Structure 1
Amino acid sequence: MKLGFLTACLPESDLTDIARWAASQGFEALEVAGWPSSDDRNHIRVDRFDDAEHDRIARIFAESGLTLSSIAYYENNLHPQEGAEVNAHVRRCIDAAAALGCPTVGTFVGRHPGLPVLDNLKRATDVFGPLVEYARQRGVEIVIENCVMKSWHPDGYPGNLAYSPELWEWMFTLGLKLNWDPSHLVALGIDPMTALTPYIRHIAHVQAKDTQILPGEIDRYGHYGPISGEKGWYRFRVPGLGQVDWTRVIDALYEGGYDGVVSVEHEDPVWSGSTERVQTGLGIAYRTLRHLMPG
């Protein structure tokens, strides 16, 4: 296993600087943000991926010695108006990943908020069948993060239909893989370990994020959270500052044969607000996880 992080937490930094800092701190991999150029999470410019951009990214990883674990573009592939463009950008991410020898592209299933879940799953089958085949032909796997994305639904219901093991099993029938993140399971009342062990062979990437339960708040809001759709009774933290038992998680991954990248996804509000604070948060995550990992 290798330890890395998702670069989206440092949108103001150049990928060259991120890679140099990451290598100097002992990280071994980067999951690189690949949103369109109009978004500040665009450390790789997949929407203008020419020979110069290919050479720029390849040189950064060659010089730093880091592994490019995944190209990240987490958007709603079932959006009623924007879905087709999201699908097209996923294809651009796949093309860039194939050219760079990157094994995975990460995205969300998403949801049409005006349709029932079963109707959404039918639409998703039509959307992801061709995307998975497009990726397969280029030697790339599509990984889906099990994030709930409540903010995508007007009533705060799940906006990404990949949040539970029941839905993972549906995803696997399409050839999709899992970018497993235990923080979202804690927020749904699902035991991360129970939801991990049976599915390790379907996991192609791991995101490391923690969840802190705020005392007393769930008794006011319940698991669905406030009517505003916000979290309300929990918040995301860097690994080591929440409820996830990382010793058991890493041990189970190792025992189950997972030998890929564990990528810290930094969404910790305490360690945010400046590059220095984000880097401090990443350092906390590193110290929590590194000594647990073989190699």
Structure 2
Amino acid sequence: MKLGFLTACLPDVPLPELAAWAADHGYRALEVAAWPATGDRPFTASHLAAESLDRAGAEQVAALLDQHGLTLSSLAYYDNPLHPDPEERARVHAHLHRCIDAAALVGSPTVGTFVGRHPGRTVAENLADAERIFPELTGYAGERGVKVVIENCVMEGWHPDGYPGNLAYSPELWEWMFSLGLYLNYDPSHLVWMGIDPVAALRPYVDKVAHAQAKDIQTDPAARTRYGWPGRAVTRPDPWDTGWWRYRVPGLGEVDWRRLVDTLDEGGYDGVLSVEHEDPVWSGDRHRTETGLEIARRTLAPLLAG
């Protein structure tokens, strides 16, 4: 297993600088952000322009990573393929196809995204919609030797009441999406606040994990007692602030990384464990963000065989 990180945490740092820093600080892989440059959502970046990448550009990216001894683990474009606006949905699907094309050119084994959700429809209606949409996407990827991986992020901020906005938050839904040819980009942090044991949930599905992310979480049980599982209801100016938990870099939260890495190893996973840095404490500027990545590396590197 190799240790990497998702480049979206440093959106303003060019990919050549990120690659050099990663190699100098003990990382061996990058999950490269590939959102469209026009996007304005938080935790996104455009370190690879999938919509304009040609063979020459792909060779430059591959040479850059090879120069620093790095693996490209995935292209990251986490958006809503079930968006309620038909025009926006079409834009998401078009960019997903461009990311798949770019992954094939540059040698990335996976493209990461979400199942998503139409918040005005039931779960059953959304699943039926997804069953019509995703087989074409996974077939397109398969023809190019690329796997589409779905992060089990809840995306509660996409739902007006803080309910799941990405229908991949539980093992029940993982089994459903595997039937569509999708794979799992496993992130334990989301399971913790959902009340799911992240190690027990992972164990039966390691063979379906094509990519894994490392993000930790810190919960406040007293605040949960006040707000309940969905989080703040009366005063919630930020749709992403539930009021009772927050993400942390690995080592500063509640995930048992020793047991989790051991479960991945025992199940035969030998891919990349990619740090997804969304820690509000170790963010705010480049130095603090890089310090957060250092904390994550010091936590995880000793657990990885080889």
TM range (shorter): over 0.9
Q: 260, 271, 280: which is aligned to 1:249?
A: 260
Q: Secondary structure at the match of 2:185?
A: strand
Q: Whole-Å Cα distance in 1 between the matches of residues 61 and 119 of structure 2?
A: 37
Contact 2:7 2:33 in 1 (8 A): yes
Equivalent position of 1:201 in the other structure: 207
Q: Whole-Å Cα distance in 2 between the matches of residues 164 and 145 of structure 1?
A: 11
Gaps of 5+ in 1: none
Aligned positions of 1:231-270 closer than 5 A: 231-270=242-281
Q: Let me know the Cα RMSD of the aligned residues.
A: 1.0
Task: After superposition, give the CA deviation of every residue in 1:1-32 in whole Å (9 maximum; x if it has no partner).
Answer: 00000000000100000000000011000000
**Greater CA drift, 122-131 or 46-55:** 46-55
Q: Whole-Å Cα distance in 2 between the matches of residues 215 and 268 of structure 1?
A: 19
Displacement of 1:151 in angstroms is 0.7
Q: 121, 127, 130: which is aligned to 1:124?
A: 130
Q: Secondary structure at the match of 1:142?
A: strand
Give, as a single letter, the amino acid of the residue that structure 2 aligns with 1:254. D
Q: Secondary structure at the match of 1:75?
A: coil
Q: Whole-Å Cα distance in 2 between the matches of residues 116 and 142 of structure 1?
A: 24
Q: Whole-Å Cα distance in 2 between the matches of residues 110 and 56 of structure 1?
A: 33
Contact 1:74 1:107 in 2 (8 A): yes
Q: Whole-Å Cα distance in 2 between the matches of residues 53 and 12 of structure 1?
A: 20
Equivalent position of 1:285 in the other structure: 296
The alignment covers a number of residue pairs equal to 295
Give, as a single letter, the amino acid of the residue that structure 2 aligns with 1:73. Y
Give, as a single letter, the amino acid of the residue that structure 2 aligns with 1:188. M
**Greater CA drift, 229-238 or 198-207:** 229-238
Q: Whole-Å Cα distance in 1 between the matches of residues 27 and 102 of structure 2?
A: 23
Q: 66, 83, 100: which is aligned to 1:79?
A: 83
TM-score for both structures, normalised by structure 1: 0.98
Alignment of 1:56 onto 2:60: yes
Q: Whole-Å Cα distance in 1 between the matches of residues 243 and 204 of structure 2?
A: 30
Q: Whole-Å Cα distance in 1 between the matches of residues 226 and 248 of structure 2?
A: 22
Displacement of 1:204 in angstroms is 0.4
Which of structure 1's runs of 4+ aligned residues deviate more than 6 A? none
Alignment of 1:103 onto 2:103: no
Equivalent position of 1:9 in the other structure: 9
Task: After superposition, give the CA deviation of every residue in 1:58-100 in whole Å (9 maximum; x if it has no partner).
Answer: 2211211100000000000000211111011111000000011
Displacement of 1:157 in angstroms is 0.9
Give, as a single letter, the amino acid of the residue that structure 1 aligns with 2:4. G
Q: Whole-Å Cα distance in 2 between the matches of residues 16 and 135 of structure 1?
A: 27
Contact 1:46 1:93 in 2 (8 A): yes
Displacement of 1:224 in angstroms is 1.0
Q: Whole-Å Cα distance in 2 between the matches of residues 154 and 106 of structure 1?
A: 24
**Greater CA drift, 19-28 or 216-225:** 216-225
Task: After superposition, give the CA deviation of every residue in 1:133-174 in whole Å (9 maximum; x if it has no partner).
Answer: 000000000000000001111111100000011100000001
**Identity within the alignment, %:** 61
Contact 1:15 1:43 in 2 (8 A): yes
Contact 2:54 2:105 in 1 (8 A): no
Displacement of 1:215 in angstroms is 4.7
Q: Whole-Å Cα distance in 2 between the matches of residues 54 and 99 of structure 1?
A: 6
Q: Whole-Å Cα distance in 1 between the matches of residues 174 and 281 of structure 2?
A: 31
Q: Whole-Å Cα distance in 2 between the matches of residues 37 and 192 of structure 1?
A: 34
Aligned positions of 1:196-235 closer than 5 A: 196-227=202-233, 228=236, 229=239, 230-235=241-246
Displacement of 1:55 in angstroms is 2.9
Q: Whole-Å Cα distance in 1 between the matches of residues 45 and 60 of structure 2?
A: 17
Q: Whole-Å Cα distance in 1 between the matches of residues 243 and 171 of structure 2?
A: 24
Contact 2:161 2:230 in 1 (8 A): no
Q: 44, 51, 57: which is aligned to 2:48?
A: 44
Alignment of 1:65 onto 2:76: no
Equivalent position of 2:19 in the other structure: 19
Contact 2:55 2:105 in 1 (8 A): no
Alignment of 1:139 onto 2:145: yes
Displacement of 1:191 in angstroms is 0.6
Q: Whole-Å Cα distance in 2 between the matches of residues 106 and 206 of structure 1?
A: 10
Give, as a single letter, the amino acid of the residue that structure 1 aligns with 2:266. E
